[in-house]
Chains A and B, each alone.
Chain A
Amino acid sequence: MSAEPVGAAADLRVDQVTLTVIDNYLATTCREMGLAMMRTAYSPMFNESLDFSCVLFDKHGRMIAQAEFCPSQIGTIKFTVEWMIDELGADVYQPGDVIVMNDPYRGSGHIPEHTLLKAVFHEGEIVAFVANCAHLAEPGAKAPGGLAGDATDIFQEGLRLPPLWLQRQGVNQEDIWKIIFANHRTPKVTYGDLMAMIGSLTVAERRLTSLIDTYGLDVFHTATEDLIRIAERRMAEEISKIPDGEYSFSDVIEDDGVVEGDYTIRCDVVVDGDAVTCDFTGSSAQAAGPMNATYAVTASAVYNAFLHITDPTIPRNQGCYRPINIVAPPGTIVNCEFPAALVGGNTEVSPRITDIIFGALADALPDRIPASLGGTSCCFLFGGAHPDTGELYSHFHFEGIGWGGRPDKDGNSQIIVINGNCRNTPVEVFESRYPIRVESYRLLEDSGGAGRNRGGLGMERILTIDADEITVSALFNRMTVDPFGLHGGQPGRNSGIYMRPAGAREWQTFSEAFGTMSPSKFSNVVLRRGDQVKLVAPGGGGLGDPLEREPERVLADVAEGLVTPAAALDSYGLEVARANGSWSVVGAPGRTER
């Protein structure tokens, strides 16, 4: 990797307008890649949830553009592509070659996430790389849907692909495809999704070629180098605005699906001038179950935190990561070693790390840092044979959560976790694909942590099994450890996953019903027709003392059904009553402690 050092005073060599045009053109290209994938892919993971990212690299493998995709994938793909080019070499590609890789021990976030890479040629020379990274719903793991909550090593988590040629000069390499098809439960969907990814690379290749035809190769190279310089300089400027100091925070992952007990993640954030170091020394040893992050996942989560608390207009490329240093001791939960299981690191540990960085900086940046977000992807996996067709299906379902109360306003309700930017799957699409009915899907009142600024609300979804047999797995967090509040705010309500056998009245945890070690992380539990599952997504933490919340805002929340009258009294110290269609505070001006 020829990452040339860049002085802060380096002059830009391309004029501002051209730079802006090219920067926006590249981001638009990423968006168009995403659109092509959405429109042509087979699995709802792709076409409804948009669990993928499209990214452009220069000829050295340095990231030059991204768009509004999943932050965790954007952070890891930087490592994935570096790894692939390092391992394969710089000169082995032919026009039309497409290379696939999903090995977490080579930079991938976890096995379900497959990265495709293609070199872009101009007059016979490689001038750029285009890549996308997407979560395949079926990676051939021990559990349908891939995220086995109780996996004990990487081999249970699916088919691991080192960098392999999926296409050579535009021709499918049948041997590789056959191996993949033989190992995935849903080969047709895998084929459709991988073809959609390849199509998206073609779109990017065409757009980049057209850009280079317009501006010339020199301007393209010079402009992308300038953009990386600008991003690095601006990120350094942003970091230098954070007061120097050492800030620490820790939180725990409640269990790993295999053994009981907490895993601590600790981070010392050291801000020194225009650079920052995040040191995870003191974090727990790697987990026995799948709650491990690789170095790439940890780094990606740290980048995600810093991008959230710095100027959102910094160009998003390799440069903005350079001032951020990460220390993650090998063999710990934040830098696990082969062959540890790790599929939950990318969905669960990643947002926790981001929250821990926020927590560490809460006092240093009191006007920016929110309370904890719900902080789990609420992964619910299932598969089986579809009663209508007999064909195998498998799906990775997740939920939005409440985000934490912010220094100046409430947290958003029901938004996807901070490491992703996926959409939910519409009920009409979900039920068209899978033999499960969605009985209800609603915001959960009182789930947002009380505070001067309330945490956003979580949700509750009730599902009914509509097939003789479905195999389900789960990977949840925050079921016992609260999403923390800040500055006197209360925690958000916990997550949960429960079941109720057909005809029964009471909800049970999966531990109670099936004896799983963990109520929140398990795999391959068989449910029958009429059984119901209740998924509960956590709320965000509150920020500031709830007693300082203006009564009219509490009343508005009660009127909207976001806070119950009982919680208005318990958490906010206000007795409220409804008369003539509107809510008001009754009795004395609140309770004595208010």
Chain B
Amino acid sequence: MASKRIGIDTGGTFTDLVCFDADTGSVSSLKVASTPKAPTEAFIASITESGAPPAEIDFLVHGTTVATNALIQRAGARVAFVCTAGHEDIPYIQRVNRQYLYDLSWDKPRPLLRSRRHCLGVRERMDARGEVLVPLEAEAIDELCDRIAEIEPEAIAVCLLFSYLNTAHEERLAAELRRRFDGVPLSVSHEVAPIWREYERSSTAIADAYVKPLMQRYVGSLETGLAEAGIGIDWAMMKSNGGLMDASAAADHPVHLVMSGPAGGAVASEHVADLMGLDNLVTLDVGGTSADVSLILGGRAGYTTSYEIEWGIPAAVPLIDIGTVGAGGGSIAWVNAGGFLQVGPRSAGADPGPVCYGAGGAELTLTDANLVLGRLDPGSFLGGRMQLDEAAARAAAEAMAGPLGMAPAELAHSIVEIANENMANAIRMVSIERGHDPRHFALLAFGGAGPLHAAAIARKLGIPRVVIPPYPGSFAALGLLLGDLRVDKLWTQGYRSDRVAASEVIARFDAIAAAATAELRAQGFDGEPELSYAVNMRYLGQNYETEVEVPPLGSATGAASAQEQLERAYAAFHAEHESMYDYVIRDAVIEMISFRVTAVGAIPHPALARVSSADPDPGRCREVFFGGYGRVETRLIRRPAMPIDEVIEGPAIITEDGSTTVVEPTMTVRRTDRDVLVVETG
């Protein structure tokens, strides 16, 4: 009986897998080295290593940073951008404002295009009513295609003026381009982001096209790998908004995957916030390559639709608000031109990895420094499956420390301090810089290296409490299994409250709700979907709409007439406007801009089981270096052996598969019956 649900989170250094057995309720996790050059290998290897027989796998969710990395490193495709003739400079003119005041060194951001010459105008034009002013003629398409062919693009993005009102020209053009450039991925603006404002819509379509060839190849190779492994199930990817999407659909809409990897961590963090009754958390996810930070406020992760790949280059899709800094276990220590020690952002990644992996890495990394300080137990790394070479790390530290006139331990401590400061800065960016005082938050740390650094970072920031969840090394992968299937159906059409035929809107809502439900069914969901409804509204004359959750709409929702249903929606808008801005304009005409139905198919989630006191493990002791203390005799405790609700005084090192928690001297740690570690930093 297929009962196993698997979440796989691929990071730059490690690939994490969490397996939840829906029959038994058991959860297991593991970590394998990522294989960035052949990403499929680690993905399949993790499944093989989990021991789950292919036939027993019922469902699989994947989170990945492939799209994000391509965007940030500008490693995407050569895109031809097609737009209405006369407006070819949209990606280069942008919005003409500046990121910073008073900074003459600031440079306007470059679009994700290789050249201004890759912006091609086509003769056609819609007007602001969505009516055709200049028809799109066959000759214009022919001429355009000749110019596209010269560019030899790897992908094409199309954004015609007013396509959010009338899709006809974009649809016709898309059909022709698909026919003539068979196999060249195409991103069409009204499909990618049916929003008004030509720059924002163009930029989003370009970003989608930019990463599409890469994502299609990636998903295709995973499909092949799964098939070869005898796993023939439908599988899903986590979108940037924390919802799940069928994998092949996701590859065709890659702009929704920019936060796919970190979104799992945010979803899991919400879960822990809820479990522990903690409203305000700073989350810190430290992997091998980077550290992701986010805020949980009032128990919820922050969402934004104003995502920017960098300032001024928008990708207008909904996502969880997460900040990233290049600091992780693989971050390489180096000395800059001024003679100052630096850590990262260059990472040794998984291959060759840190010196102590013994895989050919010669440059000292943060992981090596932690090993030299005694904070990592060489025998229990990755659950003992990888023996760390402590002597090699020490030799590398000695080699680097000599010319700097430092002792190896001193150097290792400095490396850890610098990395901690970099991560603390990332937290300052999302908290202090936005006016939130981290001293009023708890720090939720996960990722293989998060718990290793959390106590010191919390001390730096004055954060009183650190929380280490269960499975910290695979927490983001766990989050992949805590997401639900989610289909958002958007319909853009403008109505005014003084002219609308209410029954038309209600009938349309029926249709989109049915379509959303059908799409969930197509993904294999056979339960009762949870439907929610939202309308984007504004006062006639305003330019920005507010998305308002409205009471269920549609003919099946009860006795209320169509007009009464809309009145309830208007009331919800007035209330939302008042709560946000403290005023309402009761007699104003309300414009409805777009309508959304979200169908959520709840799937079984792993529950964090209660744990009971295990046999107390006397543990071992080991010398660990702490700043200000030197080498201190420190208890090494296996997490599963920790008694419940007993306060243990630091210093202590708590080991488990996939992560290590450091408790500094003067701090205390306690394990709750939900297997959460709570460190009081004092």
List chain B residues, Cβ under 8 A from A203: 581-582
Would A426 and B433 be within 8 Å (CB), given that A308-B102, A368-B104, A415-B98 are in contact? no
Q: Residues 85-101 of chain B: 1 if any A CB is under 8 Å from the residue's CB, otherwise 0? A: 11111101111111111
Collect the chain A residues with CB atoms within 8 Å of residue B279's CB: none
* Chain A residues, CB < 8 A from B542: 39-42, 47, 192
Taking the closest CB of chain B, its distance from the CB of A48, in whole angstroms, is 6
Partner of A443, one of B92, B133, B197: B92
Q: Contact mask A191-222 → B, CB, 8 Å, 1/0?
A: 01001101110110001000100100000000
Interface: B544 (CB within 8 A) = yes
Question: Is A142 positioned at the interface, with any CB of B under 8 Å from its CB?
Answer: no
| Mask of B162-192 contacts with A, CB within 8 angstroms, 1/0 | 1010000000000000000000000000000
Q: Which residues of the partner chain A approach B128 to less than 8 Å between Cβ atoms?
A: 428, 431-432
Q: How far is the CB of B497 from chain A (nearest CB, A)?
A: 16
Residues of A near B198 (CB, < 8 A) are 426-428
User: Is there an interface contact between A415 and B104, defined as CB atoms closer than 8 Å?
Assistant: no
Cβ of A189 and Cβ of B541 under 8 Å apart?
yes
Q: Which residues 123-153 of A have a CB within 8 angstroms of B?
A: none
Chain B, residue nearest A214 (CB) = B437
Residue A50 lies at the interface, judged by CB distance under 8 Å to chain B: yes
Q: Is B434's CB under 8 angstroms from A24's CB?
A: yes
Binary B-proximity of A7-29 (CB < 8 A = 1, otherwise 0): 00000000001001100111011
Q: A195-B583, A423-B95, A428-B197 are in contact. Are A312 and B86 (CB under 8 A)?
A: no
B682 located at the interface, meaning its Cβ lies under 8 Å from any Cβ of chain A in the complex = no
Residues of A within 8 A of B93 (CB): 400, 414, 424, 441-443, 459
Is the CB of A413 closer than 8 A to any CB of chain B? yes
Q: Is B108 part of the binding interface, using a Cβ–Cβ cutoff of 8 Å?
A: yes
Main SS class of interface, B: loop
> Within the assembled complex, what's the spacing in Å between the Cα atoms of A316 and B99?
16
With an 8 A cutoff between CB atoms, is B543 at the interface? yes
Residues of B within 8 A of A304 (CB): 102
> How far apart are A302's CB and chain B's nearest CB, in angstroms?
13
Take A20-B432, A202-B581 as given contacts and tell me if A561 and B116 are in contact as well, using a CB distance cutoff of 8 Å: yes
Chain B, range 578-624, C-beta contacts under 8 Å to A: 580-583, 585
**In whole angstroms, what is the CA distance A332 to B199 when docked?**
43
Chain A interface residue count, CB cutoff 8 Å, equals 76
The answer to whether B100 touches A312 (Cβ under 8 A) is yes
Instruction: Verify if B117 is at the interface (C-beta below 8 Å from A).
Output: yes
Candidates A36, A38, A431; contact of B127 at CB < 8 Å = A431
Residues of B within 8 A of A17 (CB): 432, 462
Q: Does any Cβ of A come within 8 Å of B435's Cβ? A: yes
- Smallest beta-carbon distance B181→chain A, Å: 19
**Beta-carbon contact of A559 and B161 below 8 Å:** no
Contacts between the two chains (Cβ within 8 Å), count:
176
0/1 string, A383-416, CB within 8 A of B gives 1: 0000000000000000110000010110011111
The interface residues of chain B lying within 8 Å CB-to-CB of A195 are 583, 585
Minimum distance in angstroms from A242 CB to a CB of chain B: 15
**In the bound complex, how far is the Cα of B425 from the Cα of A20, in angstroms?**
13
- B339 CB to closest chain A CB (Å) equals 24
Query: In whole angstroms, how far apart are the Cα atoms of A129 and B105 in the complex?
Result: 33
Which chain B residues border A59 with CB–CB below 8 Å?
none
Q: Which residues of chain B are within 8 angstroms of A189 by Cβ–Cβ distance?
A: 541
Q: Are B541 and A424 in contact (CB under 8 A)?
A: no
Q: What's the least CB distance linking B293 to chain A, in Å? A: 16
A272 within 8 A of B: no
List the A side residues contacting B434 at CB < 8 Å.
24, 28
Query: Chain B contacts of A183 at CB under 8 A?
Result: none
Give A26 to B432 CA distance when docked, in angstroms.
Answer: 11
Question: A195 vs B100: C-alpha distance in the bound complex, in angstroms?
Answer: 28
Interchain CB contact under 8 A, A21 and B432:
yes
A188 near B541: Cβ-Cβ < 8 Å: yes
Point out the residues of chain A lying under 8 angstroms from B88, CB to CB: 442
Residue of B nearest to A38 (CB): B544
Known: A307-B102, A559-B117. A409 touches B107 (CB 8 A): yes
Q: How far is the CA of A427 from the CA of B440 in the complex (A)?
A: 45
A443-B543 in contact (CB<8A): no
Q: Does A328 contact B (CB under 8 A)?
A: no
Report the bound CA distance from A559 to B116 in whole Å: 9
**Contacts of A548 on B, CB cut-off 8 Å?**
none
8 Å CB interface, A80-102 against B: none
Is B303 in the interface zone, CB < 8 Å from A?
Answer: no
Contact B541 A426 (CB under 8 A): no
> With A68-B101, A368-B104, A426-B198 in contact, is A400–B437 under 8 Å at CB?
no
Q: Counting CB contacts under 8 A, is A489 at the interface?
A: no
Decide if B115 is an interface residue (CB 8 Å cutoff).
yes
> Complex Cα distance A41/B541, Å?
8
Complex: chain B residue closest to A426, CB-CB = B197
A32-72 CB contact bits vs B (8 Å, 1 = yes)?
Answer: 00001011111010011010000000000000000011010
B539 part of interface (Cβ distance < 8 Å): yes
A437: Cβ under 8 A from any B Cβ: yes
What B residues does A422 contact at CB under 8 A? 96-97
If the complex has contacts A24-B434, A428-B198, A560-B115, are A416 and B582 also in contact, measured as CB distance less than 8 A?
no
Task: Indicate whether A370 reaches chain B with its CB closer than 8 angstroms.
Answer: yes
**B101 engages A416 (CB within 8 Å):** no
Bound Cα distance A199, B415 (Å): 49
**Chain A hits for B89, CB < 8 A:** 441-443, 459
Most buried by B among A28, A48, A428: A428
CB within 8 Å for A561 and B583 given contacts A68-B98, A427-B87: no
Of chain A, the residue at the smallest CB distance from B115 is A560
Known interface pairs A24-B432, A428-B162, A560-B116; A36-B580 also in contact (CB < 8 Å)? yes
> What's the minimum C-beta distance from B94 to chain A, rounded to whole angstroms?
8
Of the candidates B108, B197, B432, B581, the one whose C-beta lies within 8 Å of that of A36 is B581
Report the bound CA distance from A50 to B145 in whole Å.
Answer: 39
Min CB distance A288 to B, Å, is 32
Query: Does A224 lie at the interface of the complex (its beta carbon under 8 Å from any beta carbon of B)?
Result: no
What is the minimal beta-carbon distance from A112 to any residue of chain B, in angstroms? 19
Distance between Cα atoms of A408 and B106 in the complex (Å): 12
Name A28's contact: one of B127, B197, B433 (CB within 8 Å). Answer: B433
Residue of A21, A198, A310 with most partner-chain B CB within 10 A: A21
Question: CA separation between A195 and B585, bound complex, in Å?
Answer: 9
Is the pair A199, B101 in contact by a Cβ cutoff of 8 Å?
no
Identify B108's interface contact among A24, A415, A559, CB under 8 A.
A415
Q: Give the nearest-CB partner of A193 in chain B.
A: B541
Contact partners of A559 in chain B: CB under 8 A: 115, 117
Minimum CB distance partner of B165 in chain A: A428
Known: A36-B581, A443-B89. A426 touches B199 (CB 8 A): yes
A319 to chain B minimum Cβ distance, whole angstroms, is 15
Q: Which of B96, B161, B577 contacts A427 (CB 8 A)?
A: B161
Tell me which residues across on chain A come within 8 A of B541, comparing CB atoms: 42, 188-189, 192
Would you give the shortest CB distance from A373 to chain B, in whole angstroms? 10
A173 close to B (CB within 8 Å): no
B342 contacts chain A at the CB level, 8 A cutoff? no
Are the CB atoms of B95 and A424 closer together than 8 Å?
yes
B546 within 8 A of partner (CB): yes
Residue of A nearest to B88 (CB): A442
Residues of B near A312 (CB, < 8 A) are 100-103
- Known A-B contacts: A304-B102, A413-B108. Give 17 more (CB < 8 A): A21-B437, A39-B542, A40-B577, A50-B97, A195-B585, A202-B582, A202-B583, A414-B96, A415-B96, A416-B96, A416-B97, A421-B97, A422-B96, A424-B93, A441-B93, A442-B86, A560-B116
The 7 closest A-B pairs by CB, nearest first: A440-B86, A25-B435, A400-B96, A199-B581, A47-B543, A28-B435, A42-B541
The residues of B with any CB-CB pair to A shorter than 8 Å are 85-90, 92-108, 115-117, 127-128, 133, 161-162, 164, 196-200, 432-435, 437, 440, 462, 539, 541-544, 546, 577, 580-583, 585
- Give me 20 A-to-B residue pairs in the complex whose CB atoms sit less than 8 angstroms apart, sorted by A's number: A40-B581, A69-B101, A192-B541, A192-B585, A307-B101, A415-B96, A416-B98, A421-B101, A426-B199, A426-B200, A427-B161, A428-B161, A428-B197, A428-B198, A432-B128, A438-B86, A439-B86, A442-B86, A560-B117, A561-B116
